[in-house]
Structure 1
Amino acid sequence: MPSEPIMSSDDRWQTAIDSFLTYQEVARQLSPHTLSNYRRDLEKFADYCRHRAIVDHHHAHNSDVRQWIALLHRNGLSGTSLSRSLSSLRSFYKYSNKQGGDHNPAIGIKAPRGEKRLPKTLDIDSMQQFLSIDGDDWLTVRDRAILELFYSSGLRLSELVDMDTEDFDLQNGLIIVTGKGRKTRTLPVGSHAIAALKNWFSVRSDAHPINNAAFVSAKGTRLGQRGIQQRLKKYSLQQGLGQKIHPHMLRHSFASHMLESSGDLRAVQELLGHANITTTQVYTHLDFQHLAKVYDTAHPRAVRKKPKESAP
């Protein structure tokens, strides 16, 4: 049985973590989702250290971090989550060192590599089927605009939720999106999405909105992430696709189809708002899968001939 963590009214771990999170929220204006991940990762490490009688973050060593990561790995945490945990620790100690010092026990430690999963996407025909929702009622008009915008511009769910009416310039086919780190980017909007959005904005006032949110609920309040996820699940069943469609799948499909058609990885990176092109490169694997199928089907030396039937 593990011993109980050593805690006191003067909990230096929690004080340091709270100070770090306050800075990230106020100075860097990070999203609630990112702050929640930071808190979860740091408090897990703090609990681990308390069990080992390490009551101050200055006293944690490189070996403590390595053993913690190894424990999480044995407990089944994915390579992606382990990398995020290490990133949280490095950021935490980097902030701490601003107060003086150079102690960062997470430096130089890499998470075990996990199996790299390719993002799930819809092919163009399935996407066409998904977007072809029928109806002219207020709710369907709104949802059609949401779906078209997701696929037209490759938005993250949080980006679409946070959009306001003034972020749209439909006359010129442009939108302003606020992404991670509160960075803004201007994106083009396709003709189908423009038509759906114009239709939506013409009836949006029927909900008597109490704010300037681009997409609102029937009560007039900003439509939240959970509400959008539920609507996509509904249309997944309604359109007979046989799988659950989530907002990020539309973003993945946008990126894959854009890369497949253009081959311009840098442009796709800019459209998606990726700070690092290595994040975008995952879509080159998807594109290669498509090209490999085309090659196998079309190349004279690649086409597999059907075996001849033997004579009776």
Structure 2
Amino acid sequence: MRYAIDHFSNFDKNLLFWLERFIYSKINSLSNHQVKNKDEILKVLAKFRGGFESIESLQNTCKECRNIGLIGVNTYIIPLVRLYEYLTHLGLESLKNVDEELLKEFLTIHTSALSDATKKNYRMALLNFFGFVDKQNEDAQGTSYNFRITLKNWGGLRGKSGQKLPSFMNEEEVHRFINGINNFVFKHQDLGARNRLLLKIIIYTGIRVGEALGLKLKDIMQDGEFYLIQVRGKGNKPRVVILKAKNINEDLVLWKSARDTMQVEDDLLFCNHKGKKLTQAYVSRIVEQVLLHNGIRKEKNGAHMLRHSFATLLYQKSQDLVLVQESLGHASLDTSRIYMHFDKQKLKDTTEIMEH
């Protein structure tokens, strides 16, 4: 059903109305492969159909969506809540008062301290939202109002030449980190085996933290001297990664022994002492602890830095960008090209150009 652009005479209420309709449409299109309880989705959808009295209630319901497994909703709700707060303080009378320049001003003010990746998410959220309203509004005469927002010339993004390269460990630091995993004293012996196994799988294969935490026991299979791990990547796309059995055997045996005494949710390979899924924040904390304990300091000490370290070494040793793409599960080869910037040997080769 279509509604007039100013369905309500009150600007705040009208903007909230369109935001809840947009988020509702996005929830129905998000990947639900991480959702375990389908009844929870039905409850959330019912709340959207009933409408919201405030932006806070909409935001809280979106948090529920994320908690039940619809994690992609944050890409939209965070920027749009900021937009709501910004626009409702301007005293506008109609949604028709919102134009390209006003949105550029919002982006400039609210994304100045954010990374380029986050800025792109903000821009995408605005384009998606106003594109949705363009298609869904219609007045009594059958006429639609079109914002035609493009944000093509917004100068907030530095562009590829200005992007910061991700933090990573060099080969010596990687070996020191792996040794540090083995020597680090965790509070509980059985959870120590779990943590060592988790960190080793990430650093030896380069899989994303979320992919590692979503692994099930059946996803890891021994094949002679190797372990094959079935990974479900972004968009639920499957791929297989491989690592040497000798690197994780001891920790895997210890952890499986402890895990067998627990009631584990959804056959997860990694879980807390209650059998529940671990959080990415927890993994980043233990990565930082091991790094600092071994004197390794990076601009970003989070768990995702392990993935960058794996990819950097893989490209340096193989010189095969396609192999990097396949190993990391990148949809596009362009995403993998960032690791070419770390190839010091190619840079050293440039010093020979003027030699004679």
- For normalisation by structure 2, the TM-score amounts to 0.70
Question: Quick one: distance in 2 between partners of 1:86 and 1:235?
Answer: 36
1:38-87 deviation per Cα after TM superposition (whole angstroms, max 9, x unaligned) = 112112223332333446556522222222233346x5444443322111
Question: Which of 229, 235, 239 is the matching residue for 2:290?
Answer: 235
Question: What is the match of residue 230 of structure 2?
Answer: 176
Whether the aligned pair in 2 keeps the contact of 1:120 and 1:252 (CA below 8 Å) is: yes
Whether the aligned pair in 1 keeps the contact of 2:291 and 2:301 (CA below 8 Å) is: yes
Q: CA RMSD in A?
A: 3.3
Question: Which of 74, 80, 105 is the matching residue for 2:149?
Answer: 105
Q: Is residue 2:163 matched to residue 1:116?
A: yes
Q: Is residue 2:124 matched to residue 1:96?
A: no
- In structure 2, relative to structure 1, the CA distance for the partners of 1:260 and 1:269 (3 Å cut) is same
- In structure 2, relative to structure 1, the CA distance for the partners of 1:238 and 1:278 (3 Å cut) is same
Question: Aligned AA for 2:81?
Answer: E
Question: Aligned AA for 2:149?
Answer: P
Measure how far apart 1:266 and its partner are. 2.5
The 10-residue stretch of structure 1 (53-62 or 122-131) with the greater mean CA deviation from structure 2: 53-62
Question: What is the match of residue 25 of structure 1?
Answer: 27
- In structure 2, relative to structure 1, the CA distance for the partners of 1:26 and 1:56 (3 Å cut) is farther
Measure how far apart 1:207 and its partner are. 4.8
Question: Quick one: distance in 2 between partners of 1:9 and 1:93?
Answer: 16
The 10-residue stretch of structure 1 (111-120 or 199-208) with the greater mean CA deviation from structure 2: 199-208
- In structure 2, relative to structure 1, the CA distance for the partners of 1:124 and 1:277 (3 Å cut) is same
Whether the aligned pair in 2 keeps the contact of 1:60 and 1:105 (CA below 8 Å) is: no
- In structure 2, relative to structure 1, the CA distance for the partners of 1:10 and 1:160 (3 Å cut) is same
- In structure 2, relative to structure 1, the CA distance for the partners of 1:235 and 1:71 (3 Å cut) is closer
Question: Quick one: distance in 1 between partners of 2:79 and 2:297?
Answer: 36
1:189 match: secondary structure: strand
Which segments of 5 or more consecutive residues in structure 2 lack a partner in the other structure?
1-8, 35-65, 138-143
Whether the aligned pair in 2 keeps the contact of 1:66 and 1:109 (CA below 8 Å) is: no
Whether the aligned pair in 1 keeps the contact of 2:10 and 2:93 (CA below 8 Å) is: no
Map 1:1-312 to 2 at 5 A: 8=10, 11-29=13-31, 32=66, 33-54=71-92, 57=95, 59-72=97-110, 75-99=112-136, 103-114=147-158, 115-132=162-179, 133-134=182-183, 137-171=189-223, 173-180=227-234, 182-191=235-244, 192-193=246-247, 195=249, 198-200=252-254, 202-211=256-265, 212-243=267-298, 245-287=301-343, 289-293=344-348
Which segments of 5 or more consecutive residues in structure 1 lack a partner in the other structure?
1-6, 303-312
Whether the aligned pair in 2 keeps the contact of 1:207 and 1:218 (CA below 8 Å) is: no
1:253 match: secondary structure: helix
Question: Quick one: distance in 2 between partners of 1:229 and 1:251?
Answer: 12
Whether the aligned pair in 1 keeps the contact of 2:239 and 2:329 (CA below 8 Å) is: no
Measure how far apart 1:193 and its partner are. 4.9
Question: Aligned AA for 2:336?
Answer: T
Question: Quick one: distance in 2 between partners of 1:20 and 1:56?
Answer: 18
2:240 match: secondary structure: strand
Measure how far apart 1:229 and its partner are. 1.8
Measure how far apart 1:205 and its partner are. 2.4
Whether the aligned pair in 2 keeps the contact of 1:164 and 1:213 (CA below 8 Å) is: yes
Measure how far apart 1:269 and its partner are. 1.9
**Sequence identity (%):** 21
- For normalisation by structure 1, the TM-score amounts to 0.79
2:270 match: secondary structure: coil
